[in-house]
A and B are shown apart, each in its own frame.
Chain A
Amino acid sequence: MLHIKCPHCGLRSQNEFSYGGDATVKRPELNKEVSDQDWDNFVYLRKSPRGKHLELWQHISGCRQWIKVERDTLTHEIFKTLKANEEV
């Protein structure tokens, strides 16, 4: 079980969090023309890197904040955790 440092609450066990996928995906802006390709990429296509990955987690059993976690998908090492509005 991972040990994740919530930037709001501190170190907590993984079972307080829920996983939210790739944090680098950016939703196309509202009311803007989006090509089929770009939209498909946004909705469906995700990289599955072996190694460093910036991902979203939500502290659902805690402060309910969505946070960013930089984690190694191979070793599970967590390098950094960030608030939703912070960049790496």
Chain B
Amino acid sequence: MSENFRLDKGGLINRNKKISFNFNGKKYFGYEGDTLASALIANGVHLVGRSFKYHRPRGFFGAGVDEPYAIVQMNRNNEVDPNVRATEQDLFEGLEAKSVNCWPNVDFDIGAINNFLNKFFPAGFYYKTFMWPKSFWYKVYEPIIRKAAGFGAASIKHDKERYEHKYEYCDLLITGSGPSGLASAYAAAQNGAKVILAEDKSRFGGSLLTSEVTIGNQSGQEWAEKIISELKLMPNVVVKNRSQVFGYYDHNMLVMSERISDHLPKTKKYSPKQRLWYIRAKEVIISSGSIERPLVFGNNDTPGVMLSSAAKEYLKIYGVLVGKKPLIFTNNDSGYETAIEFKKNGIDPIVLDTRKNPNSEIIKEAKDLNINIKFSYVVVAAKGYKKVKSADIAKISEDKKNISNIENIQCDCICVSGFWTPTIHLASQSGNKTKFNEKIDAFIPSQSKQKETTLGAANGIFTLEETLKTSFKKGSELSKQITKEDNKVSVPTVVEKKSSNHDKFWCVPLPEGKNYKRFLDFQNDVAVSDIQLALREGYRSIEHVKRYTTLGMATDQGKTSNLNGLQMVSDVENKVVPQVGHTTFRPPYTPVSIGAIVGREIGKHSKPTRKSPMHYWHEKNNAVFVDAGVWLRPRYYKQGNENLFEASKREAKNVRQNVGVCDVTTLGKIDIKGPDSAEFLNRVYTNAWLKLPVGKARYGVMLREDGIVMDDGTTTRISENHYHMTTTTAQAANVLSHLEYYLQLVWPELNVNVVSSTEQWAGAAIAGPNSRNLLKKLFPDLNVSNEGLPFMGYMEGNLFGVNAKIYRISFSGELAYEVNVESDHGNYMWEKIMEVGREFNIQPYGTEALSTLRIEMGHVAGSELDGRTIPYDNSLDGLVSKKKDFIGKRSLSKTAYITKDRQKVVGVIPLDKKTSIPEGSYIVKDAKAKLPNPKLGHVSASCWSVEYDNPFSLAIIKDGKNMIGQKLFAMSPLKNKIIPVEIVSSHYVDPKGERVRS
């Protein structure tokens, strides 16, 4: 297809580089420097999508970030990218895109039937219709609505692109490189301030690229180019294009998304696709400009109806005509600039001006060019379905209430200009109290909450001269406060055409007997009639109207629709706009890809992975790993075709019969030093600690102030004022913070220091009847007999040349020891243990066997200490001192904690001694009771007892103390199981604890 709508010359595109691309399966050509939108328009393609609700044909409405229609699905380097604005997508060789929200295709869309049924789709349609019958929602309504709703389709594949995050600090962040952004950045940079200048488009310059002005002796565009190239050379300035500052958060932190590779056919090696910048700025200058407002008339959503500024941009930047018979409909002077541009390029436009008799330099120029201008004229309705073919126009009365002399004129596009709306999103997000400016009929920033300043058109200043003057000044002032430098910059002289006042008129009345849809929100199909209906039905607050009608929602967030919506509400309600107020502006200003938000924190990178020094030994020996907090721990060591159940049973059995070794490096370790350490531990733990001798360990339980068990573990007195505390793997960080809290805030008088030493020590638990024999061989110089190293004893030794610490503690319930060496020697220690242990049939065991061993011993762990239980519930009340005070003690006398039938941990065995009880099952008295069946408690941990070769579980149940011997039921609705069980003691194996002391 040839480019029928491309001018022979002009524009900023590179005509030497032709680019081919594909849209909806057809091949087209454009040039380097085009956007997908400009290239399509150059090819005469105006039908790009279907509207959200009625599936009406949709074309292009804008030329940038405000575009509500032209949202396409991209296919780039075999990756799908949904919801791409064609107006912001740079063209590249081989680009592939297609229309969305249409089936089977954009030209013939079945969904368009909704358009003819639109009487049945009023505002709030979904709320009203899909209420009954209730059961229809999941099965019928939701699937259909889901299929019909939304624009693009996200890929379900793993995204192979790379996204990054970057944190940056600067003196001034400037959002937008139009005249105000350039001037303020330039002035600030001269004062040595660290400046970041962000531009969302690929070209810098903003409105200077399309306006006919002179700055100094250069055109606006040349001046912009000069300033940008100077800024780029300055070491204190970062200039970024394709970068949208989309969110203004607390304490002057802003987030910017930089599209690094989206304009390239393929992301370069070592380069991310997008980068999210978290910028903390001392001062923020918002120079985001303004967006043209639409005028509202019948069928104003027909492809070919677009903003006049967009038409001008397509002409001046891309050398593209949006039409050859343009109709320009305006209430201010901006429309004339577009008309003049058409005329200069040999196209005859017709201008309809709603004003009666306006006068200005621009209008005079248009008249001098013999442009056909009709004053007090409006467009009543666009005609044509998939593209504007003609327009009904009419004369409008002076009070703007009546239309007459309706006639139809031929045209192929209608360029509308309803004046300008400052882009105040960022200012509003920052907490700025905006105010309504009557002169421009729009909100502008007013009282700042954070350190931000809005300049230029975003602040409602629409003349270049004033914009440059104030922006140079502000840039200098703000930077001077920060850098204390004061380098004057002179403000260049400006030549620009003066404008006359705009007309407040914005919505054309319906002619008698006609029922045209007049759209306010183009992306969400919200028409004038929808707002009227919502108000009739009693919605008053603008926030409610928004949610009921979806005005201003969706991906464009109402950039072109908000103000007209407010006008509409205020008209119907007979209020003024400031009384109605505007809806809250929330980040993001433009859609941000999920990939950019997530950055590098994907998959395994979402958390750091911690590995013990013995990790690679485990790997080599067929360990299957499990996540334990951020640690990777061996769950079991696979031999042959074993499964988890078989392997863990073998490992646990070997501990009970011979000896096993388990990597316990992950346990939290805290080094405690200072003369008041004993007193501190005495307050932290529930049991007594003052008399623990040097060289001895003690098991302790610590509570929160509310009496709930926080953690347990052993602490060893290494020397007079030095203790080694262990915590559970999961609670290590919390316990450290807890100790620091009490030391720093509650009892600062205690002379104690705590520091984490988790990573300093590698640990191996050696457990089983043969463990002492093994220890003797590992430490031949030490007396590790039951007398030399009794239960809960501590010793230091030399393990084949390496210093080691030996603790006689046991989690498995067997005779057991824990050997610690400095982390660097961890693997050496492990290999020695395995080597020496061979004659005792040593086997490594993983967390699964570890659990089995502790469960059948009735040792409580994380599944019982679950943040809901007190010492009594865990049969740990024997460790609660009655004599001394400690953290959480006062809470233990709470009524709920001392009731007679208080829950307690018990053992559970299935009556058939075969069926494993799923963890989380409920314990109930009567399996057939009516739902909700009153539950006595829940199964907290289950295992296959290797001692008795049958299933065994722990449960925490009401009145557990008196339940031993009862026959009850374990119910698991999730697994659909009802298992008859008997309640037994939680200490299933070695209830007297003789083995650990043997």
Contact = CB atoms under 8 A, between A and B. Distances in A.
Contact of B253 (A1, A42, A44): A1
Contact of B431 (A43, A44, A75, A84): A75
Contacts of B449: 75
Nearest to B891: A43
Q: Among B249, B252, B733, B890, which residue has the most Cβ atoms of chain A within 10 A?
A: B890
Contacts of B683: 30
Given A2-B250, A85-B748, A20 B280 contact: no
Given A3-B280, A58-B741, A76 B885 contact: no
Contact of A39 (B431, B744, B890): B890
B706 interface: yes
B280 A43 contact: no
A69 B706 CA distance: 25
B128 to A, nearest CB: 37
B543 interface: no
B609 to A, nearest CB: 18
Contact of B890 (A20, A34, A78): A34
B754 to A, nearest CB: 9
Given A20-B741, A44-B706, A66-B744, A3 B253 contact: yes
A84 B741 CA distance: 10
Q: How large is the interface on B (under 10, 10 to 19, 20 to 34, 35 or more residues)?
A: 20 to 34
A2 B249 CA distance: 9
Interface string B928-939: 000000000000
A66 B250 contact: no
Contacts of B249: 1
Contacts of B891: 39, 43
A56 B252 CA distance: 22
Nearest to A84: B744
A42 B705 contact: yes
A28 B747 CA distance: 11
B890 A56 contact: no
B262 interface: no
A63 B201 CA distance: 42
Interface string A1-41: 11100000000010000101000000110110010000100
Nearest to A18: B737
Contact of B251 (A30, A31, A65, A76): A76
A64 interface: yes
Interface in B846-884: 884
B253 A43 contact: no
Interface string B744-777: 1110100000000000000000000000000000
B606 to A, nearest CB: 15
Nearest to A26: B746
A66 B252 contact: no
A60 B890 CA distance: 29
B251 A43 contact: no
B740 interface: yes
Contacts of A44: 706
A30 B740 contact: no
Q: Among A13, A30, A84, which residue has the most Cβ atoms of chain B within 10 A?
A: A30
A1 B890 contact: no
A30 B885 contact: yes
Contacts of A56: 745
Given A27-B746, A43-B706, A43-B891, A1 B740 contact: no
Interface string B676-714: 000000010000000000000000000001100000000
A64 B891 CA distance: 28
B253 A66 contact: no
Interface in B223-266: 249-253
B250 A43 contact: no
Contacts of B745: 56, 66, 84
Interface in B440-472: 449
B705 A43 contact: yes
A28 B705 CA distance: 11
A2 B706 contact: no
A1 to B, nearest CB: 5
B705 to A, nearest CB: 5
Contacts of A42: 705
A34 B885 CA distance: 12
A1 B250 contact: yes
Contacts of A78: 251
Contacts of B884: 31
B251 A3 contact: yes
B250 A76 contact: yes
Interface string B882-905: 001100001100000000000000
Contacts of A66: 740-741, 744-745
Contacts of A18: 737
A20 B251 CA distance: 20
A42 B706 CA distance: 10
Given A39-B890, A43-B891, A64 B740 contact: yes
A58 B744 CA distance: 11
Nearest to B706: A43
Contacts of A75: 431, 449
Contacts of A39: 890-891
Contacts of A43: 705-706, 891
Nearest to B888: A43
A56 to B, nearest CB: 7
A74 to B, nearest CB: 10
A22 to B, nearest CB: 12
B431 to A, nearest CB: 7
A2 B278 CA distance: 12
A61 to B, nearest CB: 11
B500 to A, nearest CB: 42
A28 B890 CA distance: 10
A42 B733 CA distance: 24
Given A3-B252, A39-B891, A76-B250, A13 B280 contact: yes
Contact of A2 (B251, B431, B890): B251
Interface of A: 1-3, 13, 18, 20, 27-28, 30-31, 34, 39, 42-44, 56, 58, 60, 64-66, 75-76, 78, 84-85
5 contacts: A3-B250, A27-B746, A30-B885, A31-B884, A43-B891
Q: 6 smallest A-B Cβ distances: which pairs?
A: A3-B251, A30-B885, A84-B744, A76-B250, A66-B744, A31-B885
Given A1-B249, A31-B885, 6 more contacts: A13-B253, A31-B884, A56-B745, A66-B741, A76-B250, A85-B748
